[in-house]
């Protein structure tokens, strides 16, 4: 009788061990299964002589990084500055565990790129607005300097994520804080000049996420320069995003619409990432 009881206990332990092994295999399989992302991008020179935007999408085992830099400056200074920003981000993405500490990664990218631009160009010769998005386990982490906008397209609606660093946005913020008068605010709301960008000694402020945005299946993350969102209304961009085309076709369609819009236009660039 005693031996039967011991044998029953052993079989119970073996069964429990078997269940634990099966659960472990299932969990490891789920954790190691790579999330599939789809992305596209497109650029338009507008009415300018030089393409000063630069962009990239880089995917690795931890997630995906999208970056868009909008350069400005004399001669080719804007193009050089935006390229430096993108190359700096790509280089640090490979060296650092960006997805484990996004805030440190963002700060390192912006400060390193700012220093490299100042080392290679005289101040005032080149600068850039830059936005970066990191997508990790369906969480969106983001950072921006300047006026490259990040937005999320969800359920047919385009939702801005970043505010930007133009004088009108700063004035609105200062008014809400009680730092400037209503009359002064109204006068500054017409001023869309950038006050913060990389490529200057006074560079300080980075617009960082407070908490990651939880993404849903079917969301799009969009990065776009002012040549896109100041030329096309959000309703027109949303119409394209709702179409059944893939990400590259959507991006190309948006820049085609920008190109067809009459008037003076900046370089217009857009990055789409679908999750």
Residue ranges per domain, the chain? 34-274
Nearest to 110 by CA among 67, 164, 166: 67
The encoded tokens of residue 226 equal 């002012």
Digitized pLDDT (tens) for each residue of the chain, 275 residues in all:
556 666 667 766 667 777 777 667 555 444 445 568 999 999 999 999 999 999 999 999 999 999 999 999 988 999 999 999 999 999 999 888 899 999 999 999 999 999 999 999 987 899 999 999 999 999 999 999 999 999 999 999 999 999 876 655 555 555 566 665 656 555 544 545 677 899 999 888 899 999 999 999 999 999 999 999 999 999 999 999 999 889 999 999 999 999 999 999 999 999 999 99
Q: What CATH architecture does domain 34-274 belong to? A: 4-Layer Sandwich (3.60)
Separate counts of helices (H) and strands (E) for the chain: 8, 11
Give the per-residue pLDDT at 189: 46
The encoded tokens of residue 110 equal 């912006």
Give the per-residue pLDDT at 195: 78
Give the per-residue pLDDT at 203: 87
Give the per-residue pLDDT at 97: 85
Helices marked H in the chain: 2-32, 77-95, 102-120, 167-176, 182-188, 226-229, 234-241, 247-260
For residues 82 and 52, the answer to whether their CB atoms sit within 8 Å is yes
Give the per-residue pLDDT at 84: 98
Question: Looking at the DSSP assignment, which residues form a beta bridge with residue 66?
Answer: 57, 133
- The tokens 């969990």 sit on which residue? 27
Nearest to 273 by CA among 14, 77, 45, 39: 39
Q: How many CB atoms lie within 10 A of CB 61?
A: 7
């Amino acid at each position: 009788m005693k031996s039967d009881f011991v044998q029953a206990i052993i079989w119970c332990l073996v069964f429990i061990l078997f269940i634990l092994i099966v659960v472990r295999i299932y969990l490891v399989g789920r954790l190691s299964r790579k999330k599939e992302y789809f992305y596209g991008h497109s650029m338009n020179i507008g009415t300018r002589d030089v393409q000063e935007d630069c962009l990239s999408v880089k995917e690795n085992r931890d997630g995906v990084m999208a970056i868009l830099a909008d350069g400005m400056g004399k001669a080719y200074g804007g193009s050089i500055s935006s390229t430096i920003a993108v190359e700096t981000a790509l280089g640090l993405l490979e060296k650092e565990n960006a997805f484990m500490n996004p805030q440190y990664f963002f700060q390192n990218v912006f400060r390193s790129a700012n220093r490299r631009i100042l080392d290679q160009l005289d101040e005032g010769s080149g600068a850039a607005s830059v936005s970066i998005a990191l997508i990790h386990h369906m969480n969106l982490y983001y950072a921006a300097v300047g006026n490259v906008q990040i937005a999320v397209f969800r359920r047919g609606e385009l939702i801005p994520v970043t505010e930007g660093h133009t004088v009108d946005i700063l004035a609105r913020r200062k008014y809400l804080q009680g730092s400037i008068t209503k009359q002064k605010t109204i006068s500054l709301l017409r001023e869309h000049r950038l006050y913060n960008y990389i490529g200057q000694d006074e560079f300080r402020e980075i617009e960082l996420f407070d908490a990651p945005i939880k993404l849903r299946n079917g969301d799009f993350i969009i990065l776009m320069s002012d040549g896109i969102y100041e030329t096309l209304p959000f309703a027109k961009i949303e119409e394209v995003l709702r179409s059944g085309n893939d990400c590259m076709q959507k991006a190309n369609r948006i820049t085609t619409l920008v190109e067809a819009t009459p008037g003076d236009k900046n370089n217009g660039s857009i990055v789409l990432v679908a999750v």
